[in-house]
Chains A and B, each alone.
Chain A
Amino acid sequence: MTASVGAGSQVSGQLAQRQRAPRTLWGDAWRRFRRHRLAMAASVVLLTMIVICVLGPLVYPPSPTRIDFSKALLPPSAQHWMGTDDLGRDMLARIMLGGRISLAVGIAAMLVAMSVGVLVGATAGYWGGRIDNILMRITDLFLALPVVPLLLLLIFLFRDRLRQLMGPEMGIFWLIIFVIGILNWMTVARLVRGSFLSLKQREFVEAATCIGVSRPAIMFRHILPNTMGPIIVAATLSVGSAIITESVLSFLGLGFPPDTPTWGRLLYDGQNYLAMAPWMVLFPGFFIFLTVLSINFMGDGLRDALDPRQRQ
């Protein structure tokens, strides 16, 4: 399938959209998305993974936590579909258990990072001048922050309080999403701002301004869809890096309790066994890869679907 080279000028495209009822915008988008075969396939894969992680433990018998040294480092077999780890625990069961957290963390942190990044970048790029200068200097500051000491400080300040407030799992979950999100929005902000600087001088923006469209509407309905490409790539990348970053956090003592088998953690725990028991590394790695890949294709489909230049 090719992303059809959109004909029709942006101006007329934008205006045409405005003339239709907003409901059909999403209806059209959904129809276009469904036509994007790769995107549909990717959605099915991602959904399947989520279902497996949530429901799998109910039907797959081996325990994810039971330590049994007599079963250590077994290769994949009928009993243990993805083999066992060095403590004799079933890898698939662990991947399913950890997958719930990793997927949730990856996607939620990506949403936080994208929202902050788009908001900051769009505001800075569109308004320009002093606002741009201030927002971009804040971005500079965040880019320059030393991540590890900052994390240690955050743990020190918030961990015990959140643990008391929401329990060890939920408290840590929100903290992690917040932390990863807050450390990853800067690239998106810079990307969005760059595109905005260039796009806001284009004819279709002038046209929209002329007919009296409000500024937020111009920013988010007219300019933003034209810069979706880089945003979606950045979003895809940040899901993967959030899954990995989560495990880094647990190495600093910020992550989930050490016995939570998140995908990033499984990957790290298995790294020394790469030569001896490759399944300990390959399967969690494959799941991360599959997640990132699916989200990317979904993103591609989403962009084509939302692209104002696409025609019926």
Chain B
Amino acid sequence: MGTYILRRLVFAVPTLIGISMILFLILALAPGDPLAQFAADPSVPPEVRENIRRQLGLDDPIHIQYLKWFRSMISGDWGFSFASRAPVASLIWQRLPQTLLVVGSAYVLSVLIAIPIGVLSSIRPYSWFDNIATTFAFVGFSVPTFFTGLVLILVFSVNLRWLPFIYDSTLRVNSFETFILQIKQMIMPVTVLALFQTGAMTRFVRSAMLDNLPQDYTRTARSKGLAERTVIIRHVLRNSLIPVVTLVALGVPTIFSGAIVTEQIFRINGIGELLIKSIQNSDTPVVMAITFIFATLVVLFNLIADVIYGILDPRIRYD
């Protein structure tokens, strides 16, 4: 296993370089103009635009731009954002806490809810519990997040006036009151995200369990007289976890990239919001940095998933 991990890590380097080239190419070729949102004057003279393009390094050929980017990226410099003329790294650091807090806790929450619900549903498929869980799961992911977000705002902010719907990122938690305020402003976005993710994940856990329940080893375990609890948890769940691990591992990098719609509805202004705004404004250095970090996380977590496969099912061999 050790050599396998090492080999994969070594292989990851050329993979990531390849990915970075393709990302860069897509961003460079995609239409869009960092000056499109020019508020000052729509008819800015061409020479002014040219000066700005030169300043932003957009007049070089693509391969030169890429080499410049690559060279500074290796030394830890991600370049500066066109929109704020600030180092990209500092922008990402500034956004990371609220994204990790809100999107991350929603993710953890949905994994913690989805697994027990999925397991319970699968033990008695088509029972009343399963049917209710199924309905909720489908409502959860066929209703878009903007819709659930809006409904929650209308109920809890506009009518009941219990919760704020403008996220205050300047809030510093240093007392019990501020802690309560932080919880209050997190309730709605976390709920919206968790509802969406739990729905899908519940279905996957349930179906994986259903695939494994009729297997021979389950019968063997039962016939040995093991308690049903033990059979389900020790044997069936463990073997059902491969699709679940896949999904959870694929989902972790998306915690970093944030949740665009939910962040926008509640004005959380995390990484997702930064990414979409940067895309809209063709702020290439920011888009490049976020997507590249995301790509690295994808590669990393897919490796982690593969390692966990091996632990869950010792028969899996990579050669």
Contact = CB atoms under 8 A, between A and B. Distances in A.
A274 B305 contact: no
Nearest to B254: A143
Band of interface residues on A: 35 or more
B157 interface: no
A140 interface: yes
A146 B250 contact: no
A6 interface: yes
A303 B211 CA distance: 10
Nearest to A37: B126
A97 interface: no
Contacts of B253: 143
B302 A190 contact: yes
B207 A232 contact: yes
A198 B246 CA distance: 13
A260 interface: no
A57 interface: no
Interface stretch (A15-23, A150-158, A174-182): A150-158
A137 interface: yes
A152 B31 contact: yes
A275 B154 contact: yes
Judged by DSSP, the binding face of B is helix
Interface residues of B, number: 66
Interface in B138-164: 138-139, 141-144, 146-147, 150-151, 154
A140 B242 contact: no
Interface centre among A140, A195, A234 (most CB of B within 10 A): A140
Contacts of A267: 144, 147
A293 B279 contact: no
A194 B126 contact: no
Contacts of A274: 147, 150-151, 154
Contacts, number: 171
Contacts of B112: none
B103 interface: no
A58 interface: no
B298 A187 contact: no
A2 B315 contact: no
A187 B201 CA distance: 13
A136 B29 CA distance: 26
Interface stretch (A107-115, A162-170, A223-231): A223-231
A91 interface: no
Contacts of B143: 285, 289
Contacts of B138: 289, 292-293, 296
Interface string A263-291: 00001000100110000010001001100
Contact of B126 (A1, A288, A296): A1
B111 interface: no
A136 B147 contact: no
Given A233-B204, A289-B143, A149 B126 contact: no
A240 interface: yes
Contacts of A230: 204, 207-208, 211, 243
B243 A191 contact: yes
Given A2-B125, A3-B210, A146-B291, A198 B316 contact: yes
Contacts of B134: 296
B291 A144 contact: yes
Given A9-B216, A198-B242, A296-B138, A149 B27 contact: yes
B299 interface: yes
13 contacts: A2-B124, A38-B126, A140-B299, A143-B295, A144-B19, A145-B26, A149-B279, A187-B246, A198-B309, A234-B204, A237-B203, A274-B154, A303-B207
Interface of A: 1-3, 5-7, 9-10, 38, 128-129, 132-133, 136-137, 139-141, 143-146, 148-150, 152-153, 156, 186-187, 190-191, 194-195, 197-198, 201-202, 226-230, 232-234, 236-237, 240, 244, 267, 271, 274-275, 281, 285, 288-289, 292-293, 296, 303, 309
Interface of B: 11, 15, 18-19, 22-23, 26-27, 29-32, 124-126, 134, 138-139, 141-144, 146-147, 150-151, 154, 200, 203-204, 207-208, 210-211, 213-216, 219, 239, 242-243, 245-247, 250, 253, 275-276, 279, 287, 291-292, 294-295, 298-299, 302, 305, 309, 313, 315-319
